[in-house]
Chain A
Amino acid sequence: MNKILKYSFIDLIRSNWVISYTAFYFVATFGLLVANGDISKAIISLLHVITILIPLISTVFGVIYFYNSRDYIEMLLAQPIRRSTIFLGQFLGLVLSLCFSFVVGILIPFLVYGVSVSGYLLHFLYVLVAGILMTIIFSALAYLIALLNDNRLRGFGLAILTWLLFAILYDGIFVLAMIKFEEYPLDKVSLIASLFNPIDLSRIFIMLKFDTAALFGYTGALFHQFFGSNLGVVLAGFALLVWCFVPVLIILAKSNQKDF
C-alpha cells in the first residue's frame, strides 16, 4: 500500500493542479493577513475558506483524479495486489497531497506573521485541523461518487450536488425549518442538526472559539456550553471522524464488489 500511496502522492504533488492549489492558499492567506492586519481576524476570515472552498476543491479534485487515474487503476488491478490496498493507497495519496498543499499554503504565511507567539496558536490549530478534516471528508465523498458512477458526467454532477447540499441546501432547509417551527424550543434540535453537516459543525465550532461567540447571546448559550465542555469537543470530534471513516469504509466495501 505504501508504494501505491507514495506513487500517487508524488504524482499529484508534481501536478500543476496541486501546485496552483498551494499557491492559491499561499496568496489568499497572505492577502487575508495583510488586509486584516490582525491574526485573529485573519483566522476568522479563513473560516469561509475552510467551510466553502476546501469542500468544493476537494470534491472537484477527488472526482477528476479518480476518473483520470482509471486506466492506472485497471492496470494495477491486473497485478496480484489486494483491491483494498490499491484503492486505499490511492485515496490516501490524494488526501495527503491536498492536505499537504492546504497546510503548507496557510502555515507559512501565518508563521511569517508570528502565529506561534501571538496567543492564537490554539485557535489556528483548530482551523488547521478543521481544514484537514474537511479535506478528508469531501475527497472521500467525491472518490466514492466517482467509484459508483462510471458515467463521468453523472459522477461529476452528483459530486457538485453533494457539495451544494452540504454547503448551501442543508443550511437553507435548516433555516426554513427554524422559521417554520419558531414556536417550538429549537436549541437542542438545531444542536443535533448541526452534527449532521460537517461544514456547519466546523463553522459553529470555530466561531464559538472566537469573540464572535458573544454574538450568539443567550440563545446560543446551549451551543456555547456544549462546545465549551470536554464532552462537546469529544462529541464534535467524534462526529467529524465518523464523517471521515464512513465514506472510506464504503469505498473499501464497494471497491471489492465493483466489476471493472
Chain B
Amino acid sequence: MRPINIQLILLFLCATLTAGAHTLRVGKNGAYRTVAEAIGQAQPFDTLLLDGEVFFETNIVIDKPMTLDGQGHAVIDGEEKDEILVIDSDSVVVRGLTIQNVGHSFIKDRAGIRVRERNHILIENCILTNTFFGIYLQKSNHTIVRHNVVIGTPGRSETFTGNAIHLWYCDNIEVAYNTVKNHRDGIYFEFVNYGSIHDNYSEQNVRYGLHFMFSNHDDYFKNTFINNGSGVAVMFSKWITMKDNKFLDNWGSASFGLLLKEIYDGELSGNIFRNNTIAIHAEGANRLTIQQNVFEKNGWALKVMGSCFDNHVTGNNFRGNNFNIATNSKQSKDRYDHNYWDDYAGYDLDKDGIGDVPHRPVKLFAYIVERVPISIIMLRSLFIEMINFAEYIVPSLTPENLVDASPAMQPYNL
C-alpha cells in the first residue's frame, strides 16, 4: 500500500475549512479604498490583502476572525493622532504590515497594535516605527508575537515613549525573534504566566530592555540586551528560567545587566554578562541556581544583598571585573563552588583542576563600599590594594562563610 500523504490530507482539510473564506483586496486597485471599510464588509475568516501604499487611518477595529496581510509593503500611518490597529476578536492574524506614527498621549496608552482581551492572535513580520506603545496585549492568551521590528524615536524621555512590546495579564505567550529599540521598556511583562521569550534583540531602550513583574513559569532564552538605560529587571516572579541570554554594555551610573528582586526558584545559566556597571544585582533572590554564566569586564559581577538565601552559584567564569562579589551582609546563606575566579591566588598540588585553598571572592573594599558608598572614590588607591591584600590573607571583616571551597584553576570554556 502506498503511504498516505498526510500533507495532502491536511491541505484538503484546510481547503474545506476555509471554503467559505474570501480574499479581499484593499487599495487603489482593489475593491475597497480603506482598511476599515474592508473589515466592515468582510466575513469571518476572510483574508484582507493590502496593496503597497500608505493608508492614513486610525482606530481600525478588527472585530471578526481574519487575516490582515500587508504583504510586506503596505503602510498604515496614524499621523500622530491615535491608535492604529485594535484587535477585538479571537483568531486574528496580522502580518507583513508597516505601522507608523502613533502620537503620544498622557491619558491613554495608545498602541500601534492592541489586542483587547482576545485569544489566539498571531502578529508577525510587522514593522512598527514611531509608535507610542508598539504591540500591546491586554488579557490575551495563546498569542504569538514574532519577527517584528519595533523602533521608537531616539532621544525621547521616559514619559514621551511607551513600551515596544507590552503584555499585561496574558498566559501562554510566545515573543520571539523581535527587534525592539528606542522605547521606554523593550519588552514589558506584567502578570504573564507560561510565556516564552526567546531570540529577541533589545537595544537602547530608555529604561529596561526587558521589564518583568509578577510573572511566573516563564522562560527566556537566547535574547540579547544591549545598552539599555538600566538593563533588565526581573521582579516578584517565581519559576523563571533564563538561559543563554546576553547582557551587554549596560554602562551608566544607575545601570545593571540584570536586576533580580524577589525572585524565587529560578535558574540562570549560560548567560553572558559583559561591560555592565553591575552585572547582577540581587535583592530578595532565593533558591536560584546561577551556573555556567560568564561575567566579564563588569564593574560589579554579582551584588548580593543580605536578603538573598539558598542560591547556588557554580561553574561560572569571573574575569576582569572590578569587584567579583559584593555584599552588605556579614553572613552569607548562599553556596559558591567550582567557579573560576581570575583573582584566585591559590595552588593545585594534586593537579585535579580544583584549587586546594578556598577562595574568598569578597574584597574588603567591596564590603566597605557597600557600607559607605562614597568610599568608592578610593578606587585604585594604593591603600585600598594593600588592605584588600591583608584581608585576603587574614579575613576579619568580609563574610566569613562566603567562600568558594573548590575554585577552578582554569576558566571554563563557556
Interface of A with B (CB < 8 Å)? 47-48, 51-52, 167-169, 171-172, 174-175, 178-179, 182, 186-187, 190, 194, 200, 203-204, 207, 211-221, 223-224
Nearest CB in chain A: distance from B336 CB, A:
23
Within 8 A of A (CB), among B381-407: 381-384, 386-387
Query: Is B377 a contact partner of A194 (Cβ separation < 8 A)?
Result: yes
CB-based contact A52/B373 at 8 Å? no
B277, B382, B386: most-surrounded residue (chain A CB, <10 A): B382
Chain B residue nearest in CB terms to A187: B374
Q: List 28 A-B contacts (CB under 8 A).
A: A48-B380, A51-B382, A52-B382, A168-B382, A175-B378, A175-B387, A178-B372, A179-B371, A179-B372, A182-B372, A186-B372, A187-B374, A200-B381, A203-B380, A203-B381, A214-B252, A214-B253, A214-B277, A214-B299, A215-B299, A215-B322, A215-B379, A216-B253, A216-B379, A217-B254, A220-B374, A220-B377, A224-B253
Name the interface residues of B241-260: CB closer than 8 Å to any CB of A: 251-255
Chain B residue numbers with a CB within 8 Å of A179 are: 368, 371-372, 375
CB distance from B387 to the nearest CB of A (A): 8
For residue B345, CB closer than 8 A to chain A, the reply is no
A186 CA / B373 CA spacing, docked (Å): 10
Q: A171-B384, A204-B377 are in contact. Are A217 and B277 (CB under 8 A)?
A: yes
Q: In the assembly, what is the distance between CA of A190 and CA of B376, in Å?
A: 11
Q: Which of B269-310 contact A (CB under 8 A)?
A: 277, 299
Separation of A36 and B247 alpha carbons in the complex (Å): 23
Query: In the assembled complex, which residues on chain A have CB atoms less than 8 Å from the CB atom of B251?
Result: 211, 214
Q: Write out the residue numbers on chain A whose beta carbons fall within 8 Å of the beta carbon of B376.
A: 215-217, 219-220
**Also in contact, A217 and B375, with CB within 8 A (given A168-B383, A171-B381):** no
Partner of B374 from A47, A186, A215, A224 at Cβ < 8 Å = A186
Q: Within 8 Å CB of A167, what residues of B? A: 382-383
Are B373's CB and A219's CB within 8 A? yes
Kindly report which residue of chain B lies nearest to residue A45, judged by CB atoms.
B380
Task: Report B-chain residues with C-beta under 8 Å of the C-beta of A219.
Answer: 373-374, 376
Which residues of B lie under 8 Å from residue A218 when comparing CB positions? 253-254
Asked if A223 contacts B277 (CB within 8 A), the reply is no
Contacts A214-B299, A216-B253; A175 near B368 (Cβ below 8 A): yes
* A190 and B252 form a contact (CB under 8 A): no
Question: In the complex the two chains form, is B382's CB within 8 Å of A171's CB?
Answer: yes
A211 contacts across to B, CB distance below 8 A: 251
Q: Is the CB of A47 within 8 A of B380?
A: yes
Q: Is the CB of B277 within 8 A of A215?
A: yes
- Give the nearest-CB partner of A52 in chain B: B382
Q: Which listed residue (A187, A214, A223) contacts B255, Cβ 8 A?
A: A214
